[in-house]
Structure 1
Amino acid sequence: MSGPDAPAGLLEALDAYERALATDDLAALDDAFVRSPTTLRGDDRGLLVGHDAISAFRGARGGVASRTLTRVDVRALADDLALVVAVSTFDAGGSGLQTQLWRRQDGTWRIEAAHVTGRPRAFDTTVWRVLGDPLVAPTGTGPLDGETVAVKDLYAVPGHPVGAGNPTYLRESVPAATAAAAVAALLAAGASIRGIARTDEFAYALTGRNEHHGTPPNGAVPTAVPGGSSSGSASAVRSGTAGIGLGTDTAGSIRVPASYQGLWGLRTTHGLVDRAGLLPLAPSFDTVGWLTRDADTLLRALDASVPDDTARQPVGDPVVLTDLLDAADPATREAFRAAVGPDVPETSLAALGLPGLDELRELLRLVQGAEATVVHGDWIAAHPGALGAVVGGRFAAAAAAPADQVAAARERFPGVRAAIREALRDRAFLAPTVPG
């Protein structure tokens, strides 16, 4: 320690805090921070405001790397207020810096504000599987000159195998000789590939958690999951390490992380963008799409990826789909109505002659699950235990679906799809992306 002597009890409180970090003692860590809605904690992933938010973050973090404080400087600001700046040396190498404002309350020192600078990382392995500078250079010039792309680990990238978020699948995969069509289009338009980004296993989940590689950060809400399955692509864009996230959307895998992280996201019309070189999940639903921080970049990615001769239909009149709005949380409904305004008309699935949400959800579950089983079932059966519990459970449930229910859903599916397209012919449905 250097500088003036530390106030009585402060260094003991700091030592107790470090021991609690080392053992991931959540109760002790909770008690180490001032219980106030204005308590602060910040790091490179964002700012947490309030004791409850900080507590939730720690509960999901799972501890910190083993470290030792090698230097501690203290400045007493008042009788019951002190600033602590400490250097951490990590057992695995590297160092970090933590700055804390400590306040004494009823004789006990607690942290009122903290900022943590962790040890430098070559790259965040929860976000990236492979990273380069660039990983793949542009093949042409055009509207995406200077842009960098985080490619979801389902697309063929020249010289690299597809991993699909699963280490066993990655070990057996072979490097791609050519780029997937969606990747090639971005390269031809002047973008470079920054790296290959993490995904939920085989894109069959929506949280962004990967039981093998961890959970990418949510740069908008540090205590929340990033959303999936295009989780790594979204987190890379949100953090600024890529300008475009190339993802897929089968049942929300672009729309959900875009919503959770405050990004622009687009699930394209099914079949609009060539899916050659994309590892499928459920081909009747799989689509190509992108995540960006602004609308202009999203439109440039779209224009670069859609053939010039593609027939483009005008967008119909906007209508609020009340079934989806009613399914949202109250706060989400309120925010949605404030954004849309009072003048947009409302309609319902029943008024449009469409099935209700429960039937649509069941159709999706059965048809998507059946197609996913066809695509990946043999590999999964040949590799017992290779999948994480959550995604493994989803594949198991899909494979166990009664054959008669699957057959009936498959028979009904084309008619429902056609009816939805007809309903959208002169309308644009508006609804919250996620319930809350």
Structure 2
Amino acid sequence: MKTYDFQSSNAFVELFEIPPYQSGSLDGLSFAVKDNIDIRDRLTSYGSKPWRETHPPAAYHAVCVEQLLMAGARCVGKTIADELTYSLDGENYFYGTPVNPRAPDRIPGGSSSGSASAVACGLLDFALGTDCGGSIRVPASLCGVYGMRPSLHRISEAGVLPFAPSVSTVGVLARDLSVLRRAMRVLLRSDHLALPRVKNIYLLQEAFDIADPAIQDALSGCIAHFDGLPHLAVRSISLRDITGLDVSLKSCNENALRVLQTAEIANALGGWIRASQPEQGPNFRAGYRNVEGFDRSAMSAALNLCEALFARVAAFTQPGDVFCYPTAPVLAPKKGVLTSSNLDVVLDYYDRTMAVTAFAGVARLPEITIPLAQVDGIPVGLSLAAGHYQDEFLLDACLRLLGSPPLKPAASFLAP
């Protein structure tokens, strides 16, 4: 694999160094910050040069950044985000496309595109990202690294620019599971807990069914490995089985997550866009038309459905339960393909991908994507999710499940 440096990766908006405040559990580790997260005295672009030019520098570091500095980590810069973080592709009109080092002709995924790229290029130990509809999980999967979306609001979002507050959260991308665990435990403010063992792995069958056949085949060995572990039940399940509601993953996205996301984006961005009339990239402009044309009377039903799904999933999930499914149901598309001239391709990518990512988003679950497979050298991630606020259990479960041979992340994904 070609080696990339800080410049050739095109992963960064700017480079700088903030030394750790003190020694701690993250001593010796370096990290970068997605550029919708504040760094004191620096401008935050939110993936948009007009936003950067019309807003003052941050007065303080975001709380999550302070936590990492106080734990001994060193900050090395800010990474590119998709325009106003409203994308899952990673191709930014203003800043360009961060490289996907595992598949350089393909997109890195977004909107935490620069964070995934920098980690995958081996330029730092971990990076902060944010996730609403998959913005950590998708780029982590497409670039072949670990990524964790924690339980909703487990991590402070003070100093993080708003997007869709009801479903957005801060999380971490890392090349190594041990580093992911160390960084996440700082952000989660975890103490040493007595954690249950994994008892049940529920295969979210709809997510497998809508995945490309090549992805299903690539992950089949991982599932077989789980099925062979002692004292562990592996069974297929649907969202209807979990909730008792007549709701599929597709409708979970279309009638719950996407509606709520669209409504809240309008609140977060609408005033500034209307007043400033900023320059916009063509992909953002096409997507934002959906926001401008949104019928807000649909919001009440979506909020109620989100709450019902959260409550039903929470009631179903018991200590020791893990959900398992492909992180992204498609391989990383080639760069330049996801444009308005290829609307069918765009809709297929977003509709299928967000149908999968909506599960943890609506149910407020912690989810970790693991770089366990590949198709012709293109990374494929497998996700594990656990019950709401069971973040520490999920981190421990990943370590236990990966620690039993022969299930190991592809060695080529761990080399710089």
**Both structures adopt the same fold (TM-score exceeding 0.5):** yes
Partner secondary structure for residue 240 of structure 2? coil
Structure-1 separation of matches of 2:265 and 2:304: 17
Moved over 4 A (4+): 309-316
Structure whose alpha-carbon radius of gyration is higher: 1
Shift of 1:341: 1.0
Q: Is the 8 A contact 2:6 2:123 kept in 1?
A: no
Note the 1:235-384 alignment, pairs <5 A. 235-308=117-190, 314=196, 317-341=200-224, 343=227, 344-352=234-242, 353-354=244-245, 355-362=247-254, 363-384=256-277
Shift of 1:358: 2.1
Shift of 1:372: 0.8
State the one-letter code of the partner of 1:415: A
Structure-2 separation of matches of 1:255 and 1:312: 27
2:328 maps to what in 1? 434
1:102 maps to what in 2? none
2:97 equivalent to 1:215? yes
Structure-2 separation of matches of 1:167 and 1:218: 23
State the one-letter code of the partner of 2:11: V
Structure-2 separation of matches of 1:139 and 1:392: 41
Larger relative helix fraction: 2
Shift of 1:165: 0.6
Structure-1 separation of matches of 2:194 and 2:46: 32
* Number of residue pairs the alignment of both structures matches: 318
Structure-2 separation of matches of 1:146 and 1:309: 21
Q: Is the 8 A contact 1:125 1:213 kept in 2?
A: no
Percent identity among equivalent residues? 35
Q: 1:408 to 1:300 in 2, by over 3 A?
A: same
Note the 1:139-218 alignment, pairs <5 A. 139-218=21-100
Partner secondary structure for residue 428 of structure 1? strand
Higher relative contact order (CA 8 A, sep 6+): 2
Shift of 1:259: 0.6
Shift of 1:384: 2.2
Q: Is the 8 A contact 1:215 1:225 kept in 2?
A: yes
Cα distance per residue 1:160-206 (max 9 Å; x no partner): 12110100100122222221111111111111111000000121100
Shift of 1:146: 1.4
Larger relative strand fraction: 1
Structure-1 separation of matches of 2:217 and 2:115: 29
1:408 maps to what in 2? 301
Partner secondary structure for residue 350 of structure 1? helix
1:128 maps to what in 2? 12
Structure-2 separation of matches of 1:194 and 1:367: 34
1:6 maps to what in 2? none
Partner secondary structure for residue 75 of structure 2? strand
Cα distance per residue 1:35-82 (max 9 Å; x no partner): xxxxxxx8545xxxxxxxxxxxxxxxxxxxxxxxxxxxxxxxxxxxxx
Q: TM-score, normalised by structure 1?
A: 0.69
Q: Which moved more, 1:310-319 or 1:230-239?
A: 310-319
